[in-house]
Structure 1
Amino acid sequence: MFRAGLFSPLDAQNCLSLTLEHGYLVPEQLSYQHLSDLSYGCDPGLKSSAGSWWGVIKCENGKWSQTPLCIDLRDCFAPEVSHAEPVQPVQTSYPSNSSVTFACDKGYEFETDWQEAVCVDGEWTLPVCSPFACDAPVHVAHAVIKQPYRSAFDLHEKVEYECKKGYELIGQKISYCMVKVWTREPQCGKNRALTFSHRDRNFLLLEPRPSPAEPAQPVRYCTGYPMIENGDVVEQEDGVTLEVQCAYLYKRLGPLKVTCVNGQWSELPVCKGYLYISYYIIFALLFIRVLFILALSFHHYCTIVSCMSICVLVVLYI
């Protein structure tokens, strides 16, 4: 009987007896009372779900805590992996050398190099799922974080910094949790001021500072990687910056790193070929040709040697 939400043991149901293949029940009865224990044993060469030759189950209001089972010593019962779920429906037991593929829960990744649980001679070799989470952000002098303190933050979560009075933010005020690391945190620098007196009046001059830059976002916030002619971009481990690499015989002109700000890519560099003939070199060659022609035409004024010396000086000057 249920009264005021309480369960009465007097109304509990008994459990019916079970049939166990390759094993036996002790005591063997037609039914068992609520909360009573039932022991079972397995035949030689077999094991119970407890991993030994016997096991114990409990009757709980008409249902057994688990189904007794006896399997070969080299077989395995269904595997369990913390923070992961099997990709395919699981079986009650698996023969040796069987495998079960798992997928980590949201916010977790495989810490091991494998994703399958493998049964080897009655024991599972299990994968391990660890959280993407970041530890609490590092301490920044003269600053606070607007969000409440937590010992861990999930992937792509963000925190916002704010400096105390008399200090100003240097860098990006928002930091993102990437794969177990935070993007670069800002610093709080002291306002530099100059006070002087003029006609009994005090003036306070503050050094002008640029306004804080918009915080960079993870690259996934921008649509597709930017296209750079004769070059390519490589996403960095922080997940926030792209590094530009120019093709062979091309030189980068512009910033090395590109970030995503408000859904748009920051300034892009260009990759320019550096094996080209300068206009200055062409002019110098033409000038040398003219000097040689003059030397041949007016040899009584200028010898070949002296003209060549002049040419060398001209080239060095250019």
Structure 2
Amino acid sequence: MCIRHLGFVLLFWFPAELHGQSETRSCAAPVLVHGLFTPKQDIYPHGAKLTYTCNNGHKPADQGWWVMSTCNNGLWSPPPQCIDESSCVQPDDVPNTIYSPSPTGWYENGTKIRVKCNKGYETKNNLLTGTCKDGAWRSMPVCEKSADSCSEPPQLPHAVIINQTHQEVFAVDSEVMYQCEDGYTTEQGESMKSVTCISGNWTEGPTCRSSSSSGSSVSTVPTVPISNCGRHPIVQNAVVVQSDLMSLKYRCYTFYSLEGPEIVKCYSNGMWSDKPTCKVAYCVLNTKGHDVLKDVGRKYIKNGETVEMECQKLKFYWVTTHKAEVQCNDGEIQLGSCCSSTDAVFTNCE
């Protein structure tokens, strides 16, 4: 009797519980102080979007002067809120840099945040904090590869690195292990050999040689469908943009450039062909270090890209805004002259 009653209770409770878990919640209209939003409704269904902006003297707690927010199961994402113009939004994502985000999504004027670097990186000039000043981030630290760190270990014939995910930089004293493919051994007759990062360089890796005289080179091995090689190879700072039966095509993330083959294929011996690498391809412009430019903190510029930056008022008779062209060439900043919009093709620049 008790067992039958228990079965009835379970049948009654479980469907209701599962039904409750599958439901999504609507959002109430946000309370937006110092701002306005559209469309205006009392209730917004899950997935609905609204756009908001802020009154003079205030700005959205996100990038831009207007922001789109989405109802996500009863909560607005990002939460619509207007902050004082002197406050700062979350800093831009910077490669290899870690900081603790604010729970409110923004920072008051004068707030300092502490920055940490990924392993193998260090801040330039030992700067550790950035400061929110008048609505912009000043002196934000930039994490650069440490002088004693190593780049990725070299790719060696007939060998693969084991027990280590791919990464672009390794801290000093890092150790990785190579393993020769089946049928190959090191000169000492071993199947594995480790290398260590010392003062920016890797110790000598293994030379994997065929244990028989009948080994064939990779270049003569036919290609087969990529499903024969198992998991797709991981390329740091890259993503697979095209995949078909016989090949994978990679593309690097923004601020990185591709070196090597963009197409990777699978050999019949179960090995992948050579992979590309994605190298850093951007410049960091610190406006604080240029007296002619208006200080807006740090600006990240892609390699080969030219941007316009606002200049300080260098002459008392300047009545219009002057700007300078800034170009990034192979990691080096090239700064042009300050010019106004009325200067014909920048011929009367100061």
TM-score, normalization by structure 2: 0.40
TM-score (normalised: structure 1): 0.44
